[in-house]
């Protein structure tokens, strides 16, 4: 790609800021619906989502949530009390515990995933051609 066709860093940052603002300004309603569907604070649902692919050590879960170990311990304690996760001894490291979803945790996660997230009205007003162009731009970025 030649430098004449590349976007400037300022343009790239501006495009990102617009996307983030659109997402952040429109997700509150969806987050409330997920919390209502699961009976959990959204932060707990995030933890369940990170465990969907399999057990994680507490420090791995903290990293996946971009959180600190004490906060994740509080969240895991709460989820464990609710019967949604369980701790087990790590097979290779007796000092570490693995956190995994229980069957009830998997059902709760399925309930969270069943909540449909709708596009903001500004997106719904786009033409089919514009939506297609946006998808052609975003889908390759999502695969990176």
**Which CATH number characterizes residue 125's domain?**
1.10.10.10
Total of domains in the chain: 1
Range of the domain at 130: 9-143
Q: How far is Cα 47 from Cα 129, in angstroms, rounded to an integer?
A: 37
Q: What is the pLDDT of residues 53-105, one digit of tens each?
A: 999 999 999 999 999 999 999 999 999 999 999 999 988 888 888 999 999 99
Q: What is the pLDDT of residues 94-124, one digit of tens each?
A: 888 899 999 999 999 999 999 998 888 888 8
What's this model's pTM, rounded to 2 decimal places?
0.76
> Pick from 26, 22, 29, 50: which is nearest to 115 by CA?
29
The answer to whether residue 3 is domain-embedded is no
Report pLDDT for 4: 53
Q: What is the pLDDT of residues 36-55, one digit of tens each?
A: 999 999 999 999 999 999 99
Q: What is the pLDDT of residues 1-15, one digit of tens each?
A: 444 567 788 998 998
Report pLDDT for 132: 93
Q: What percent of the chain is predicted at pLDDT more than 90?
A: 66
The answer to whether residue 24 is domain-embedded is yes
The answer to whether residue 127 is domain-embedded is yes
Q: Which long-range contacts (CB under 8 A, 24 or more apart) does 101-105 make?
A: 101/48, 101/51, 101/52, 105/48, 105/51, 105/79
The answer to whether residue 1 is domain-embedded is no
Residue 81 tokens read as 């009390």
């Amino acid at each position: 790609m030649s430098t004449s066709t590349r976007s400037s860093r300022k343009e790239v940052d501006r495009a990102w800021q617009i996307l983030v603002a659109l997402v952040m300004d429109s997700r509150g309603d969806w987050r409330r619906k997920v919390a209502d569907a699961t009976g959990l604070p959204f932060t707990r649902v995030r933890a369940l989502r990170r465990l969907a692919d399999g057990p994680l050590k507490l420090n791995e879960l903290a990293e996946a949530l971009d959180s600190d170990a004490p906060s994740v311990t509080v969240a895991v304690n709460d989820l464990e009390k609710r019967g949604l996760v369980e701790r087990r001894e790590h097979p290779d490291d007796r000092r570490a515990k693995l956190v995994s979803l229980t069957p009830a945790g998997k059902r709760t996660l399925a309930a969270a995933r069943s909540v449909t997230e709708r596009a903001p009205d500004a997106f719904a007003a786009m033409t089919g051609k514009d939506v297609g162009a946006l998808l052609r731009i975003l889908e390759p970025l999502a695969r990176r």
